Structure 1
Amino acid sequence: MTDFFAGLPKIAYEGPDSTNDFSFRHYNPDETVMGKRMEDHLRFAIAYWHSFAWPGGDPFGGQTFQRPWFGDTMDLARLKADVAFEMFDILGAPFFCFHDADVRPEGADFAESTRNLEEIVDYFGQKMETSKTKLLWGTANLFSHRRFMSGAATNPDPDVFAYAGATIKTCMDATHKLGGANYVLWGGREGYETLLNTDLSRESEQAGRMLSMVVDYKHKIGFKGAILIEPKPQEPTKHQYDYDVATVYGFLKRFGLENEVKVNIEQGHAILAGHSFEHELAMASSLGLFGSIDINRNDYQSGWDTDQFPNNVPEMALAFYEVLKAGGFTTGGTNFDAKLRRQSLDPEDLILAHVGGMDACARGLKAAAAMLEDGTLEALRAERYAGWDSDESQKILRGERSLGDLESHVRSAGINPEPRSGRQERLENLVNRFV
């Protein structure tokens, strides 16, 4: 045991009337919601990078956190793992997620970095034998090191492409060895800063080739989890190739991978793309791409990806409404891709941030379930489209009617349609009954 969280209790559910900061008021893992335990609905995961690797910097200032495990040695990497699993135990977290660079020091070359990763993976495996916490997903950091300044798969240098592919392989091996439920690809710098030095056709083909190699390797090693792409529109590059869910779908269709890959949707990235979180979730569900989520929020005044912990229950209710409508998570889950504020220096801040986020998600889940069980929203939606259920309308959709047929029908039936209300305010009022 370390002493980093000394004196902090395990977090237990005490109910909405509790005044104990170190308790769950709404997240009760064993509570049944729509026939399933709340823990099994939400499948919470702790993000290794923000919780244990992030130093507290921002674009305008450097490190504010002084963690005892900060440093580039294997002993400190093991200490970081010890603290991480202690935190997982305090929160009762069922899952965690990591990049390779979060958990091991950078080596002098690829071989040393890989040996460092493999050693920490073995250490994780030992700790997981006595922990309830499993791996939701692993991924490779292909954006922080200067070698990736021009991208990884989309880099103009084939040596960087090869290095990126080799790194992905080692991270897929690590994820597979630890029993990970998914493997995520996030192209942090897969984009461009200026079109003056960019060949969009070449870079798109390179990205497609890399993803195809990932899928091939998944099948080669017998990895049963999902391959997930995490869409992001910009920051730090001007444009990225996986802008949003719809863009990712087009990319997958282009390379014949739409049945092999799903999406991991982050709330903050949805907002950067000019969408709402629930829009991206609904889009993924409609396209058959829904996989997993990264939960956080942006500061709506700052306008950039601030990765704050979620606390807006109405937003969470609409998001989990779409998750439940999509059938809920299978291999995916709710990963807290969220970080403390630079001024939140104390160990208890790290615990309480997650407690608040877990409670907000639980409240959102329960509100979403109540809306679905009530059924009014879906009934009104079905009523709006009811005309398309008729036999004649279905023939149109099946391609059995031409434009000429439509003209004849309009003339013979004397069709002169009047607009109908979309009832938006009524529906918004309905949602507010539950949140």
Structure 2
Amino acid sequence: MSDFFGGIAPLAFDPDAEGLAFRHYDPQEIVMGKRLSEHLRFAVAYWHSFAWPGGDPFGGQTFDRPWWGDTMEAARLKAEIAFEMFEILGVPFFCWHDADIRPEGASFAESRRNFEEIVAVFEEKMAATGVRLLWGTANLFSHRRFMSGAATNPDPDVFAWSAATVKTCLDATHRLNGENYVLWGGREGYETLLNTDMGRELEQMGRFLSMVVEYKHKIGFPGQILIEPKPQEPTKHQYDYDVATVYGFLRRFGLEDEVKVNIEQGHAILAGHSFEHELALARELGILGSIDMNRNDYQSGWDTDQFPNNVPEVTLAYYEILKAGGLGRGGTNFDAKLRRQSLDPSDLIAAHAGAMDVCARGLKAAARMLEDDALEGPRRARYAGWETPEAQAMLDSDLDSIAARVEADGVDPRPRSGQQEKLEAIVNRYV
């Protein structure tokens, strides 16, 4: 055991506690027939919690961590402290990029050996603690070799490097019994059409994803392959902009039954949507896989990756998830980072604990609304006219027949209230 967290004990559910504790998240509480822990399936993001130094676009490192350094010794210490935090929080899962967990080597082979050594450390610690892997992924965006993309790069050598990296990461995810594997195309897009062959890049991206799916089946990986939609930042025109864009891409390459989406709240906002919109659309399209839970600062135009603290927003998100039947193999990954002024180790614990409480409050409120039929009843009433035989028959008819019926009936439809304010008031009663 290290002394990084200063002897902080595993957090308990204690609504009246004055110190670090859960006030709303009781993992054993039964909600809609399942334990709260099974609904939420919390995961810690290795990159933001253990690899991010506290910088921003105008300044560098503010955090002083004992594992900083590009050495295997530092990587092993990072893993030791990470699993201590997982146990303090009682989270069932964690997530990683390859670059988060190992130092970069002088060659691809050396980086792979470094990576596999830490994967072996993870294997031991997962067996000892019971913490599982929600998903693994490859960092194909930070190193300068990826400045023009990974799968979409104009240099075939970068495409090859990226494919080899994903193979290594998918092998490791399979070895660690990961629930999912995520592809996050941080630089799969372009800055200007003056130097871009968009058609070629989309074909490369489609073939790359097809190779990943083929390899998943070859090795017998039972988990889901997920794409994480992300608009603009850092690439001006991103190919995986939002859920609708990703679905169209999947349909084009015949992958809609093979790949789902990992949806992030902050990315939804950057795309001009609400989180619940993206979740509802993914549910209706049958591609909802998992979520990254965070929030953006609405006064900033970039992805600030803050821990969630807005219960009404979180409630509406979990409402859509519960309507989908839950997260399945997915989970709630906190793709969120401390503010660069939050320097203390205990801030890491407090940030996650507070976020877990917010999610618990949101999910429980969403469950009550569903159980009380508070929103679904009015929704059904609004569309009740479509349940009549005449309305259903119209969908199988044609314009000539419909026009003739309208003239014969002589009915002039009268608008009906959507009652938005009443429904908003209903939501507010639950949150």
Give the TM-score range, shorter chain. Answer: over 0.9
* Matching residue within 238, 242, 245 for 2:243: 245
Query: Does 1:409 find its partner at 2:405?
Result: yes
How many residues end up aligned between the 2 structures?
431
**Aligned partners of 1:135 and 1:179 also within 8 Å:** yes
Q: SS at the partner of 1:21?
A: coil
What's the counterpart of residue 376 of structure 1? 374
Matched residue type, 2:402: L
Partner of 2:292: 294
Deviations 1:167-223 (Å, cap 9, x if unpaired)? 000000000000000000000011111111111101111110000000000000000
Which of 90, 106, 109 matches 1:108? 106
Match for 1:421: what amino acid?
S
What value does the CA root-mean-square deviation take over the aligned residues? Answer: 0.7
- Partner secondary structure for residue 226 of structure 2: strand
Deviation at 1:122, TM superposition (A): 0.6
Take 2:337 and 2:149, find their aligned partners in 1: how far apart are those partners?
24
C-alpha displacement of 1:154? 0.5
The 8 Å contact of residues 21 and 352 in structure 1, kept in 2 or not, is answered as no
Alignment of structure 1 residues 23-422 onto 2, 5 Å:
23-397=21-395, 400-422=396-418
| 1: CA distance, partners of 2:225 / 2:7 | 40
Ranges in structure 1 where 5+ consecutive residues have no aligned partner: none
Offset from partner CA, 1:212-242 (integer Å, 9 cap, x none): 0000000000000000000001111111001
Moved beyond 4 Å, runs of 4+: none
Structure 1 Cα separation of the partners of residues 130 and 316 of structure 2: 30
1:4 aligns with 2:4: yes
Alignment partners' CA distance in 2, 1:182 and 1:428: 35
- Give me the whole-angstrom Cα distance separating, in 1, the residues matched to 2:100 and 2:70: 11
**Which secondary structure does the structure 2 equivalent of 1:258 belong to?**
coil
Once residues 210 and 394 of structure 2 are traced to their aligned partners in structure 1, the CA distance between those partners, rounded to angstroms, is 37
SS at structure 1 position matched to 2:297: coil
SS of corresponding position for 1:12:
coil
TM-score by length of 1: 0.98
Whole-angstrom distance in 2 between the partners of 1:358 and 1:389 = 40
Residue 402 of structure 2: SS of its match in structure 1?
helix
Separation of aligned partners in 2, 1:415 and 1:119: 74
Over the matched positions of the two proteins, sequence identity in percent amounts to 74
Aligned to 1:13: 13
- Structure 2: how far apart are the matches of 1:21 and 1:188? 38
Which whole-Å deviations, capped at 9, do the CAs of 1:363-386 have from their partners, x for residues lacking one? 000100010011021011011111
**What's the CA shift string for 1:51-74, capped at 9, x where partnerless?**
000000011110111110011111
Tell me, what secondary structure is at the counterpart of 1:129?
A: helix
In 1, the alpha carbon distance for the partners of 2:234 and 2:128 equals 40
Can you list the C-alpha shifts for 1:91-136, whole angstroms capped at 9, x where unaligned?
0010000000000000101101111111110110011111121000
Structure 2 spans left out of the alignment, 5+ residues: none
What's the TM-score, normalizing by structure 2? 0.99
Could you tell me whether the CA contact under 8 Å between 1:138 and 1:175 is conserved in 2? yes
Whole-angstrom CA distance in 2 between matches of 1:404 and 1:301: 51
Cα pair 1:186 1:231 within 8 Å, conserved: yes
- 2:425 is the alignment partner of 1:429: yes
**In structure 2, what is the Cα distance between the partners aligned to 1:163 and 1:75?**
26
1:231-280 CA-to-partner distances (Å, cap 9, x unmatched) read 00111111100100000000000000000000000000000000000010
Q: Return the alpha-carbon distance in structure 2 between the equivalents of residues 303 and 361 of structure 1.
A: 24
Q: Secondary structure at the match of 2:95?
A: strand
